[in-house]
Structure formats: structure tokens, C-alpha cells
Amino acid sequence: MPVLPSPASEAVAHARWAALRRGLWLLPLLASLLFVIGVLAWAYRADLAEREDRRTTLIADALSSEAQLQGMLGAEMAHVQDLARQLPRRARSAEGLLASPDVSEGLRRLWLSVTWLDDKNRILAHVPDQNALAGLLPGELADGPGLSAHLTQAMGVESLVVRYSPTLLLRRGIPWWLAHKYDMQLIDSSEQVIASLDQTPLRTDSPGRESYMVSVGGNMPGAFLELSLREAPPPFWRTLPLVLMGGFLGLMLVATQLLRRQVQRISRTEAAWRTEAAWRQAMEDSALVGLRARDAEGRILYVNRTFCSMVGLSAEQLVGLQPPMPYWPPDALDEVMLRHKRNLEGRAPRDGYEALWCHQDGRSLNVMVFESPLIDARGQQTGWMGSIIDITARKRLEERERHQAEAMAQQSRLTTLGEVASALAHQLNQPLTVIMGYNAGLQRMLLDAGYDNQAVLHALAQQGDQAAEAGRIVRRIREFLTRRAPQREACDLGAVARRAAALLQRDLQAADVQLQWALAPGLPLVFADPILLEQVLINLLRNAVDAIRSQVPTDRPEATGLGSIRITAQPSGQRFVRLDVEDSGPGLQGRTVKHLSAPFYSTKSDGMGMGLAICRSVIEVHHGGMDAGNSSLGGAGFSFTLPVFDAQLHEASLAEEDARASLESEGRT
């Protein structure tokens, strides 16, 4: 079974979502921070790689510089060895040394002095002599440091020592682009600077600058060549892109702050708007007036809860619908469509109009509709807003009042009629009694006179019986009209029906109507007044004959003999007997028994419209019921039920009647 979200959990989810949305302003800042961190990481890695490259280049440059120095020293050593091979042939004096071109060239290159030593290391000859060497010493010596190195070559027991300037060695041996890039120094094992490319011979320890030291060895044992980068590279966080990133982050902070303020302002406005919308919704839903907004084409844009309950459809089912609407009565669509068009054209009555609508469950409702223009924010009309009031209850009340007024009018006419009929019956009673008296006197006189024409005597007897019967009928009707209780007794419904049919024999024959009988055998007796019952049956049969007759074209009265009437009587359950009078006439055409038995309702030119009204009230007085519908013979079918005679009930009702009679007589006295 699907679990529906409870309103509480929905509220919590909504609050969480609102809090999340309130914090959305942080998102750009967080994204920027992530971006900056990414760029920093990338810059750091690039810086590391660059350092690695620089270090590799530094090592390669140091090694190649050392190789070049070694090469130069090797070449100088070769010159010294050449000189040593020449010297045994020379005079052991300074002139002798100077006579060798190697010496003068050496002094011009980087030699500082050449000394010839004997086996006891005593100087045999030494150049330069200050005077002799004027102009031979290289000018750079003046700038160079005072430290010097020497090359020694043995010549048997004697030896040759050549002093040279390591500074000159550096300046001449190192290519200019390396000298431009690096600060180079020759250092001995005790970290003493032997030579330097720069004027400052002291080693300056600068932590940012990278340096690399390589052992020279060979002809300069114990010496090291140190290369230091002239410029310390700036730390990666001081590079331009990162400075720009810093600026960007600062601007982002400012922008975020502005965004935050804006989001807060919007959130406050939104909350106020939501509260207002909730209030409005609550007001609209609690209103008893239905609200319906439509666009200019008549499409439903909005409905409130009252409107939905009025027509029995949900807002989802209604919104977006176009005419014809599901709540319009299906049998009056054309008329409602015309009214709808009139309303859309703005011609709806200002003080509202009444309409008949249908609820989804089929019941109809009366509504009062007031249309007013729907104006949007720009002041333009976009449709119509209708306020709808359900006036069904009011209408019903009005209808009931009208019915009551009609019923009262009819009641007073009935009372008058009852009084007239009662007076008439009273008046008729006397001549009938006189007729009976004359009849009885005449019969006696004829008998006394010995008159024996049996036909005449029989006719007279019949006349007397009929007059007595007429007197009884008049009396019963009078009693009924004066609201006396009917004279109920156990009676055979079949026999009563046959008597009524016998009384109408002539009419039935005149109309050539065939009478069919379907009386169930052993039909129980009913508890009723047989005279009133007879009148009911006479009325039903006469109506049936009239209905059959009404089908015969008036210009061809001879075309009769087509009609038939069927009288059916059978038990209805344990306690009732039912009698049906069906005919082959035109039928009731949808009219109900309630409709037909309304007093004074008649479709006949000479009809009074009281027949069925009296029949119905007679049956109801007998605790029965009357109904009408279609018959299988093609016409109308009238039926009534009457309670079965019950001896015990009969006695009880007799006792009741006695009690009532004694009460009435006591009241009178």
C-alpha cells in the first residue's frame, strides 16, 4: 500500500528546501573557492616541475662548466710541458725563460709567473721581472683577487712552476651566457673562495637562490666549482596569474555579500507573498460563494473549493476545460452555449443571472451567477471572474411554498365541491326515497288488484332495486365526503370487479371493447367498502374505455372493435391483493399516477378530473396503494393493492370504531 506523506513530514521537507534555497547564495563563492584551490594546486605542481627543470639545467651547466675549466687547465698544462721540454736548451736566467715564446704567450693568457727551480727548490730563474714584464701582464689582473694557483712540471731533478690566476681562468673559460645566468666561484676544501666571476669574492648565502657545487679535481685538486643562480625565482604564489586569482577571489567575496543581501531580500518578499497567498486561499476556500475565473475564450483558469463541491468535480478536472462544461445540463446545451457566448461578449446582466447546473452525481442545482471582468497586473482584461451562489435550497423553498398555496387553493375547491356534493346527495336522497315509496306502493296496488303481467311486475321490482341501489350509493358517497369512515367488510374483489363491469356493460359493448378476465383462483378476501371499491373500478374501466375510444379517428367512428381491456387480480405477498386494469389505448405518455390523480386534471373536453383523485384517496383510506404505468396490451395500466381481510384485525378495528363513536357521542353531550 503506498504510504502517503503526512502534512507534518511535508512541512519539514518544505522547511528544509527553503533553508537550502536561502543558502544558495554561497554556491558561487564555494565554486570560486574550489576553482582557486584547483588553480593553486596546478600552479604548485607546475612550480615543482619548473624547479626540477631548473635544478637539472643547473647541474648540467655546472658539469659542462667544470669540463671546460678542466679542458683549459689541461691545455695550460700541455703548454707547461712544452716549455719544460725546451728549457734544458735555454740559459738558466729570466732572459732565457723570456726567450721562449710559450712563456710570453702564457703570461699574456693567464700565467702570473714562471719559476725554474733546481733540485733543492732554489730559484734558478723567475719571470716576471717587474721591469722586463711591463706591458706583458694581462690587464684584468688588476681587478682579480689576489689568490693564485700553480701548475708544476718536473724536469729531471729540476722543476718548473707556473702560477696562474683562477679568476682569469673562470672569466676566460666560461661562456658569457653561463656567466650571465650564474654566479660562479671556485672554492677550496676549506670553503675559501679561490676565484669568483663577480667582484665580491665572499660567499653570500642567500636561501632563495639555488646553487650546485662540483669537484674540479685534475690539475686543480681539492677545488670545487659552485654555480648559483643570479636571480632567485619568485615563489609560485607571487606569480601574476595567482595575484589575479587573489583579486578575483576578493571580488567574488564582495559579489557574494551583495548576492546574499539580495537573496535575503527576495526570501523575505517570498515569505510575505506566501503568507498572503495562503490567507487568500483560506479566505477563498472558506467562502460560501463559488469562484470561477475564465479566459477570453471561456477556458477555466481557476476554481475555488466551494465551486468544486458545487459541481462535484476536482480543480484538476476543471482547470483548462473549454465549453461545453461537464456541469451544464445535457438537455439544454444549445441554450447554455448561447448564454455562455453572451457572457463572454460582456453582455451578462449586471445584477446576475440564474442558471441550472448539474452536479456530477446527477442532481441538478440552481445557481445565481455574477460575472465581472478579470483584470491583470497591466490593467488589461484577460477574462471573466464569476461568483456563483447555490440557490437550490431557496428555489426549493419557493417551489414548496407555491405548491402549498396551490394545494390550499385546491383543498378549498375540494371542500366546496365536497359540500356541494354532500348537499346534492342529501337532496337526491329524498326523491330517491319517494321513488322507492311510489314503486313499493305501485307494486302493492297492482298485486292487490290481481295484476299478473310478470314482465311489468319484474320491471317494477328492478326499478325498485335500482332506486334502492342509487340511494345506497348516494349515501356512501355522502358519508365519504363528510369524512365518515368507510363501511369496511370482507369482500370478494373479483365479485366487485364483475359487478362494476356489469354496470358498464352497455358502454363496453358500444365501444366494442373486448374484456379479458385473469382472476387468480382462490383469491383471498379483502377488507374494504364494496360500494366505494365498485366506484373505483367503474372509474378505472370507464377511463380505459374512453382512452380506447380516443384512438378511433373521429371521421371514421365505425372503425371500432380494436380495443381490449384486461382485469387481473392476484395475491401480492402474504398480506395484499393486487388488481390491474390494463387497456390497449394510447397509454400515459410518461405521466405518473401522481400527475394524473391531481384534482381537476383532465385531458377530456367533458372531464372533471376528479375520478382518479377520488379513486386514489379511496384506496389510500383502505390502507392500500395505487400505481400506473404501461400495459402489455399497448396502452395504460392502472393497479391498486388492498389489505387481505384478517378476522382478528377486523375485530380490533371494530372495537376501535366503537370506542371512537362513544367518545364522539360523549363529546357531543
- The residues binding ligand ADP (CB under 6 A) are 539, 543-544, 547, 583, 585, 588, 596, 601-604, 607-609, 611-613, 635-636
> Coil, strand or helix: which one is 297?
coil
Residue 561: count other Cβ atoms within 10 Å of its Cβ: 11
Tell me the C-alpha distance between 589 and 583, whole Å: 14
* Residue 80 or 596 with smaller CB distance to ligand ADP: 596
Q: What is the dihedral of CA 628, 632, 635, 636, to 10 degrees?
A: -10
CB of 466 to ligand ADP, least distance (A): 24
Shortest Å distance, C-beta 588 to ligand ADP: 6
Shortest Å distance, C-beta 547 to ligand ADP: 3
Residue 423 is which amino acid?
A
Closest CA to 303 of 288, 289, 318: 318
Closer to ligand ADP by CB, 192 or 603: give it. Answer: 603
Query: Distance between alpha carbon 248 and the CA centroid of its chain, in Å?
Result: 44
The nearer residue to ligand ADP, 349 or 607, going by C-beta atoms, is 607
- Output the CA torsion 132→135→140→144 (10° steps): 20
Rounded to 10 degrees, what is the CA torsion of 337, 343, 345, 349? 140
Q: Torsion angle, CA of 232/236/239/243, rounded to 10 degrees? A: -140
Distance CA 292, CA 303 (A): 5
How many Cα atoms are found within 13 Å in the side-chain-facing hemisphere of 341? 5
CB of 596 to ligand ADP, least distance (A): 4
Minimum distance from residue 506 beta carbon to ligand ADP (Å): 18
Q: Rounded to 5 degrees, what angle do the CA atoms 416, 420, 424 make?
A: 170
Instruction: Say which amino acid occupies 146.
Output: G
Q: Rounded CA gap, 66 and 171, in Å?
A: 13
Between 252 and 548, whose beta carbon lies closer to ligand ADP? 548
Write down the least CB distance from residue 414 to ligand ADP, Å.
13
| Alpha helix stretches (DSSP H) within 4-90 | 7-22, 26-86
Closer by beta carbon to ligand ADP, 328 or else 638: 638
- Tell me the C-alpha distance between 517 and 509, whole Å: 16
Q: Which CB atom, from 534 or from 583, has the smaller least distance to ligand ADP?
A: 583
Q: Residue 595 Cβ, how far from ligand ADP at the closest point, in Å?
A: 9
Nearer to ligand ADP, 145 or 587 (CB): 587
Residue 524 or 611 with smaller CB distance to ligand ADP: 611
Q: 163 with 148: CB under 8 angstroms?
A: yes
Q: Are 102 and 83 in contact (CB under 8 A)?
A: yes
- Is the Cβ of residue 191 or residue 620 nearer to ligand ADP in the bound state? 620
Q: How far is the CB of 545 from ligand ADP (least distance, A)?
A: 9
Minimum distance from CB of 551 to ligand ADP (Å)?
10
